Amino acid sequence: MAPNMISSNVVEHDNVLLSSSSSVEKAILNKSIYTKDMYAPTEKTRTFVVDSFPLLGKVVAYRFIEWVIANPEGVCALPTGKTPEYFIKWTQRIVKEWDTTDIKEDRRMYGLDGYVAPPRFDKLWFVMLDEFYPMHPEHHNSFKYYVSNYYINGLGFDPERCLYIDLSKLGLHDKETLEDVWPDGSFVDLSLRLRTPTTPLEVRQQEMIRQVDQWCLDYESKIRSLGGIGFFLGGIGPDGHIAFNVCGSDHRSTTRLAQLNYPTQAAASADLGGIDAVKAKCAITIGLGTITYNPDCVCILIAAGEAKAPMVANGVQEETNIKYPSHAIRVLPNAAFYVTKGAAKLLVERNIVDLKEASNVGIEDIEKILVDVSVSSRKRLVDLDTVDVNKDPMGKVLMDRMGWSKEDLHDTCRMVTERLISKIGKGTETLTNTTFMHIEPHNDDIMLGYLPSVIRQTRPTSNDHYFVCATSGFNSVSNAHIRKMIRRARKFIAKDSFRKLVEEGYFLPKPDGTSSIGFMNVDTPSEEHYQLARSRDVWQYLDGVSSSHNKDGNDDEEKSEGSARRFIRNIIEIYALSHCDDDDDLHDQVETKLNELDEYFDKVYPGQPDVKDVQMLKGCCREFESECAWGSLGWLPTNVANLRLGFYTSDIFTPEPTLERDSKPVLDALLKAQPDIVTVAFDPEASGPDTHYKVLQAVTEALKMYQSTRPEKPIKVWGYRNVWYRFDTSEITHIVPSSLSSLGSLDRMFMTNFESQTAAEFPSYELDGPFSELAARIQVEQYKNLKISLGRKWFQEHSSALIRATKGLVYFKEMSVPELEKYSRALRSRAEQY
């Protein structure tokens, strides 16, 4: 059960149990349903829970300012990345608007109203937490670049009082570069600390590693000479890492050059241009002992969103263990977790408080608790007894709250069982005479989210399907993939088949001169010719896929030609090449552009933000993959729209969606398709500038406008999730069975159509492999859990072959537009708390 957090509707408590003297922390508890900062003995670390990510940034900003006022020349260490977005924004706003009515009221609430002037940061010492090695500080994805941009320039820290982690020139000989010591394709091998080098290059690398180790020792000494860190703010990584102190790090560790584990590498892959680039690097990080050296350190770990819930639960509730880096901060009396209610989802004592204080207990709450008890005890729901339920902390509170007898519990468990069976029944329905609009934030979200349902609903010929991708996904296309496409295109333009296609006008651009993004009209012969040519790109590629079942070895050639055709078409449209019906002229133009692209990629570093045209080119590759995926189910490119919503950028802090720029294109697509059912990625919490959340907002606004013009035809909305977030059964209305055949289709369709993703350059931290494998794993996991609750026999001895064949399950939630609007409005109001 999700905790209720800071809200204007919560009555203040006269007596709160707070183990620090912070007026900010007292204010947080005064506005919270929780009266303690730590519910011992279950909780071992103080924890403050707030309603949203923006509000999290706000309370941390006030806590930081409170500390700065008391320590104007103190030592602080602040994080990089997306985590501190609202902390930085709120800190800037508070200082800038110190005397405005709103900030004065906030300062009064947080106990900071007695200060006339806002604090200054230029007398503070700033300590960088970590940095990749090797790394050039001028690169946009270096942490020093971030610190300079957001803390030095953004908040006014003095660069002369900053301890930077910049080793770009350390140990280099005259005219030697980092690339000379660490050439492309090599990696930082820390075994050279111990073993004998085998090559001259390894001798040089060993020397460099030892110099880096000495630098780290000196850096640690500098921090300690300042008295240690007085204020530490950090996030918590997928393996629980703090700074780059990964799972298993010594709780007394100091600043060092360290190897990263896979979850940490995966989390960093988007910033560094892919997992391979990350694996070639190590990281310099302050140690856990560095953080705790100063016993008076105010140490705050922040986490937002349900994806962080396991890390927070482990950090707060588990017995102290070297497995969990966050346990190191328990020695500090001023250490605490600051988290959102989504991140607090697995905190047992908080959930108990919520259940006790709730005005009523709904059937969804009952279902969640009883299903959880069923799975944890490995017993069918109908076999649960009062002993089983009372063993579970939430179950016991539920029993006490409801006053159930043994018979009441049995009847309730049977009712929950029937609810689950009913949801499976809805999930097996095949609709007819229905128009679907499937909307995805990224080009593979639909496939990874609910492909078995898509396949089932595409079988009736009376159904229509439209597929809408809100963004082009260029951030997830590696430079290596584009270079592969360049090689394919260069090979293809040398063939006679290319010249023949040019002569027939195959590569003539879109009649209106724009790049194709929406559902295409085919009202004129030229539009029909253009759209047919785009479809032929897809068919050529899919012919190559089907040929892979033969042994003639031509499948790669056919696939490569299909993707090369579309790549060349994209180059023609993006760079406005002319004379597209002249084979010699077009050949020369394309070859020139391919050479220019090769030169471009020779110069850029992995993770460098691309220029606009290269972003478009990368995005077009993803869009072609979508057309191939849905083409394999028989749907033409005319049924696929790529909206390229403007909020999606390569910036670390992306802009908020707007009505005109982002909702209007969705509305236009709705007006063309006129769907009965619209699907949308339905994430549990607005946990920051994530694409899923922003697409949800844009779609909700578009649906509101669209529905207002057709109130007599209510639209159904299907909310789905995929590899990033997961539903509880209590949250959903439909459970879709997935057979071994469906699981195989998921992997096959993903691996054959989404070529840019098969190498898993931007993977999930949960799996070192492609997303299709993780999606299948989630479906199987959901099936195994429900098989416990319903019983093996229910599936294996069912009268329906569809149920008997089930080996995975997909969850989604059906809503009306007003229901979606209510949920989205709640999300938006959280984001608007900044």
Cis peptide before 393 (omega within 30 of 0): no
Whole-Å CA distances, 722 to 449, 627, 751, 776, 810? 4, 20, 17, 10, 9
Q: What is the DSSP string of 434-476?
A: -EEEEEESSTTHHHHHHHHHHHHHHSSTT-EEEEEESS--GGG
Residues 6+ apart with CB under 8 A from 410: 382
Whole-Å CA distances, 377 to 67, 156, 396, 726, 785? 47, 55, 14, 21, 11
Whether the CB-CB separation of 280 and 663 falls below 8 Å is answered with no
Residues 6+ apart with CB under 8 A from 357: 4, 33
717 by DSSP, 3-state: which? strand
Terminal CA-CA length for the chain: 26
Cα 196 to the center of its chain, rounded Å = 42
Whether the CB-CB separation of 475 and 443 falls below 8 Å is answered with no
pLDDT at position 9, please?
35
| Three-state DSSP string of 545-605 | HHHCCCCCCCHHHHHHHHHHHHHHHHHHHHCCCCCCCCHHHHHHHHHHHHHHHHHHHHHCC
Cis peptide before 41 (omega within 30 of 0): yes
Can you tell me the distance from the alpha carbon of 296 to that of 294, in angstroms, rounded to the nearest whole number? 5
Can you tell me the distance from the alpha carbon of 631 to that of 795, in angstroms, rounded to the nearest whole number? 33
Q: Is 114 exposed, middle or buried (0-12, 13-18, 19+ CB in 10 A)?
A: exposed
Can you tell me the distance from the alpha carbon of 364 to that of 728, in angstroms, rounded to the nearest whole number? 10
User: Residue 296 phi/psi, 5° resolution?
Assistant: -95, 5
Query: Which regions of 33-77 does DSSP assign to beta strands (E)?
Result: 47-50, 75-77
Can you tell me the distance from the alpha carbon of 353 to that of 371, in angstroms, rounded to the nearest whole number? 20
pTM above 0.85, yes or no: yes
Whether the CB-CB separation of 764 and 790 falls below 8 Å is answered with no
Residues 6+ apart with CB under 8 A from 160: none
Strand ordering across the sheet containing 125-127: 47-50, 335-340, 298-303, 231-235, 75-77, 125-127, 162-163
Can you tell me the distance from the alpha carbon of 98 to that of 93, in angstroms, rounded to the nearest whole number? 8
Whether the CB-CB separation of 782 and 452 falls below 8 Å is answered with no
- pLDDT averaged over 10-residue windows placed end to end, the chain, 834 residues: 35 54 95 95 98 93 98 98 94 97 96 93 98 96 97 98 97 95 91 97 98 98 99 97 98 98 94 92 98 98 94 98 98 97 96 96 97 98 98 97 96 98 98 98 96 96 98 94 97 95 91 66 80 95 84 71 97 89 88 97 94 97 97 95 94 88 95 97 66 92 94 95 92 98 96 93 92 97 98 97 98 96 71 61
pLDDT at position 555, please?
55
Whether the CB-CB separation of 650 and 616 falls below 8 Å is answered with no
Whether the CB-CB separation of 13 and 294 falls below 8 Å is answered with no
pLDDT at position 286, please?
99
Positive or negative, the Cα torsion across 382, 727, 241, 765? positive
Residues 6+ apart with CB under 8 A from 15: 35
Q: Is 12 exposed, middle or buried (0-12, 13-18, 19+ CB in 10 A)?
A: exposed
Whether the CB-CB separation of 32 and 5 falls below 8 Å is answered with yes
Q: Which of 755, 779, 373, 332 is nearest to 542 (CA)?
A: 755
Q: Which two tokens stand for residue 223?
A: 């921090």
Whether the CB-CB separation of 637 and 534 falls below 8 Å is answered with yes
Give the Cα-Cα-Cα angle 368, 369, 373 (nearest 5 degrees): 115
Whether the CB-CB separation of 764 and 722 falls below 8 Å is answered with no
* Residue showing tokens 């040089």: 204
Amino acid at 176: E
pLDDT at position 33, please?
95
Strand ordering across the sheet containing 130-133: 130-133, 282-285, 256-258
For residue 131, the cross-strand partners are: 284
* Residue showing tokens 């468990």: 413
pLDDT at position 830, please?
58
User: Residue 337 phi/psi, 5° resolution?
Assistant: -90, 135
Can you tell me the distance from the alpha carbon of 815 to that of 826, in angstroms, rounded to the nearest whole number? 15
Give the Cα-Cα-Cα angle 707, 829, 473 (nearest 5 degrees): 70
- Would you report the helix, strand and coil content of the chain in percent, each value rounded to 5? 50, 10, 40
Can you tell me the distance from the alpha carbon of 516 to that of 644, in angstroms, rounded to the nearest whole number? 11
pLDDT at position 829, please?
65
Q: Which two tokens stand for residue 349?
A: 């004592």
Cα 657 to the center of its chain, rounded Å = 17
